[in-house]
């Protein structure tokens, strides 16, 4: 891992987190607290053992196991208090990492399927967002995503985004798309919902190019109007796509630890992150589902610094890119850039 001075520098850098799932940010301690609150069990998780490390607490070996665990955690969310608690808990961890702004993905359809009404979600997300800003000075905004193999979620998800905007003005940044892209599906049924979202000022921020190849990224760009891509690391398989992303300024949200854990790449040392940057692509680092992948945003910076021998200049540029590629208000972006410029380089030698 980096030297103590470089690690302190990384933590001090003002950063934005642009690829982070709310349900996937629930820690083992919080998951147990919610399960006990509602008298639920979590498969394979000892509700009385808060001392277990993350991998013991959240065991999975493949993407299917990851999804089962993700759904089990989500099953503990029922009331506005539950949703507000996980939002504020996330904000506490973000501010400790130097994150002043985050665009957080939330999946309304997952909870609609569990017969959770909109009201507790709307109230809880809004309350948690207010606490995050007032108590921790972390600005959170939402990306509401559709599970790609369930296109019938598209209209209800857009309707939820509209309801959230009415309930908490300015809180929604975009519409997303997630789920297993390597399973057969079509994006055509989603075009209208994304077009309507764009017409209403929301951005198209789908996942693509993670478990499947460039064709999914082309779909996201051409059919959905994507202005930023979640993951996108497999774009390098198509030089024409790389050129399109570069010339159009379509940024990638790259999550190295997630990619390793889900076998998108064999190891961090073999991750294409340096090649993506060498190709002139815009990108930021993300933590995806931090407790599930034993990471957080600071750890992502530390791991890539160690894996690729990157020093302060490259790390500072990644932090700056995260601010520039976000959709945060201009005044907050300016303040974060000023704070970033004020962080001194670590002493070397």
23, 210, 253, 300: which is the annotated catalytic residue?
A: 210
CA 186, 282, 94, 200 torsion: positive or negative? negative
Residue 107 token pair = 């999946």
Q: CA-based angle 114:117:120, to the nearest 5?
A: 110
Edge-to-edge order in the sheet of strand 15-21: 15-21, 99-106, 139-147, 172-178, 203-204
Confirm whether 331 is a catalytic residue: no
> What is the rounded end-to-end Cα distance, in angstroms, of the chain?
16
**Contact between 161 and 144 (Cβ < 8 Å):** yes
**Contact between 108 and 144 (Cβ < 8 Å):** yes
Q: How far is CA 123 from the centre of its chain?
A: 21
Residue 34 token pair = 């919610």
Catalytic center residues: 210
């Amino acid at each position: 891992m980096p030297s103590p001075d470089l690690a302190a520098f990384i933590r001090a850098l003002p950063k934005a987190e642009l690829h982070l799932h709310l349900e996937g940010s629930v820690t083992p301690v919080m998951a147990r607290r919610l399960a006990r609150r509602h008298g639920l069990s979590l498969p394979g998780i000892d509700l009385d053992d808060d001392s277990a490390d993350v991998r013991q607490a959240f065991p999975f070996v493949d993407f299917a196991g990851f999804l089962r665990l993700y759904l089990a955690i989500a099953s503990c969310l029922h009331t506005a208090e539950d949703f507000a608690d996980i939002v504020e808990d996330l904000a506490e961890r973000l501010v400790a990492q130097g994150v002043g702004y985050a665009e957080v993905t939330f999946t309304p359809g997952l909870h609609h399927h569990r017969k959770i009404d909109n009201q507790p979600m709307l109230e809880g997300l809004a309350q948690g967002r207010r606490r995050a800003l007032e108590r921790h000075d972390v600005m959170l905004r939402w990306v509401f995503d559709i599970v790609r193999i369930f296109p019938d979620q598209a209209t209800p998800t857009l309707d939820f985004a509209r309801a959230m905007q009415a309930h908490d003005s300015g809180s929604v940044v975009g519409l997303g798309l997630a789920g297993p892209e390597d399973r057969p599906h079509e994006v055509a049924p989603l075009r209208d919902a994304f077009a309507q979202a764009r017409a209403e000022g929301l951005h198209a921020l789908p996942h693509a190019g993670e478990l499947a190849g460039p064709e999914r990224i082309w779909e996201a760009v051409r059919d959905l109007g994507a202005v930023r891509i979640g993951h996108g690391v497999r774009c390098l398989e198509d030089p024409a796509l790389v050129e399109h992303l570069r010339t159009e300024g379509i940024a990638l949200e790259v999550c190295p630890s997630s990619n390793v854990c889900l076998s998108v790449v064999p190891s961090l040392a073999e991750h294409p992150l340096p090649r993506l940057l060498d190709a002139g692509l815009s990108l930021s680092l993300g933590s995806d589902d931090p407790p599930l992948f034993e990471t957080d945003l600071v750890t992502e910076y530390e791991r890539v610094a160690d894996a690729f021998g990157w020093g302060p200049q490259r790390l500072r540029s990644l932090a700056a890119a995260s601010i520039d590629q976000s959709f945060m208000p201009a005044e907050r972006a300016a303040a974060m850039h000023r704070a970033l410029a004020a962080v001194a380089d670590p002493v070397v030698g």
